[in-house]
Structure 1
Amino acid sequence: MVKPDAVMKAITGTWLYLNVTSYFDNGTISHNPDPGLGQFPVGILTYNTAGWMSANFMSSKPEDRPGDIDTEAPDVGTDAEWALIGKHTLAYAGPWYVSETTDKVEVGQITHGPTKVAWLPTWVGIELQKNYTLLEDKTMMRFRSKTQDGKNGDMFFRRLA
């Protein structure tokens, strides 16, 4: 059996979010975009060798991201505009680990958490489990999981570093 260290070494790095396909148990594709992140979100996952990770996603729609708001000038923009940015962002960080349920590095289960920080208070302290598959000589990664609304979801990432 492969030790988790070998799996962690294979996953460690930075991954660019490519897309997600959501589908029902009968295989029918769901065409409903994520209510917060929209149809074409952008995101990055980062994993380090010490066992810490961060996930950062946001909507790519300009109307979800008022362009004139800056942390250097917090009095710029309305509370509604700041709330709009928060509504269309997803971010969390904490430890990560993999299970010893397989003898292959390329396939298994990864857990993010318990999260230490999160954009939503209800996500602090939770664990997010996903089945992963490393593809194309470990340069692509697929997460397979159930979405919050009960659909199946396949998320794809490409290794950046």
Structure 2
Amino acid sequence: MVKPTDIVHALAGTYSLVNNTVYNLTTNTQIPSTWGDAPAGLLTYTKYGFMSAVMSATVPAWRPTDIRWPPKDADPPHSWELVGRHSLSYAGTFSLNASVANTKTQGQLLHGPIRTASVPVMINETQARYYTVAERAGEVYLNVWLESQGLRSEIWWRRIVKG
């Protein structure tokens, strides 16, 4: 039997977003992703039980160039709306769901309680994420997916730094 700490240590690292595929579970069809065809992002799990995720679209129409940080009163509201609709960030703790058979290559993670998020309603939530780890050509890939509101979102990440 694999100890939970061994699984957490095996998952620890920083991953680069490869793609996100979303399926309608009722019609069994693929639907467009919030982040488009070539999203950008990083996912980090630490061996101490913390995680952070940042994801955003790279579609030029969703990445306005007429705004800069910090926001200004004169900025076009529509530009900030696009940024908000096509990006997500959150961070908090993570753990293994003890009611699921977890291994170093598959199981279920619990993200949360979430401590900070670009979507305020996520704060203090705990969200379940299934995971599968795969190795291909010497690279480690992490598939994290969830099912909610009739949709299945599969997000593939490639490890860029082992934790």
Deviation digits for residues 9-34 of structure 1, max 9, x if unmatched?
Answer: 1111111111233335589331x213
Q: Measure how far apart 1:93 and its partner are.
A: 0.6
* TM-score of the pair, normalised by structure 2: 0.84
Question: What is the identity percentage for the equivalent residue pairs of Structure 1 and Structure 2?
Answer: 30
33 and 70 in structure 1: CA distance in 2 versus 1, 3 angstrom threshold: same
* Residue 55 (structure 1) aligned with residue 56 (structure 2): no
1:4 counterpart residue number = 4
1:117 counterpart residue number = 116
Q: Measure how far apart 1:149 and its partner are.
A: 3.5
* Contact preservation (8 Å) 1:69, 1:76: no
2:145 counterpart residue number = 144
Aligned-partner Cα distance in 2 for 1:71–1:103:
41
1:102 counterpart residue number = 101
Name the one with the larger strand percent: 2
110 and 85 in structure 1: CA distance in 2 versus 1, 3 angstrom threshold: same
* Residue 41 (structure 1) aligned with residue 46 (structure 2): no
- Give the gaps of 5 or more residues in structure 1: none
* TM-score of the pair, normalised by structure 1: 0.84
User: What SS does the aligned partner of 1:139 have?
Assistant: strand
Q: Between Structure 1 and Structure 2, how many residues are aligned?
A: 158
Q: Report the aligned-residue RMSD.
A: 2.3
73 and 155 in structure 1: CA distance in 2 versus 1, 3 angstrom threshold: closer
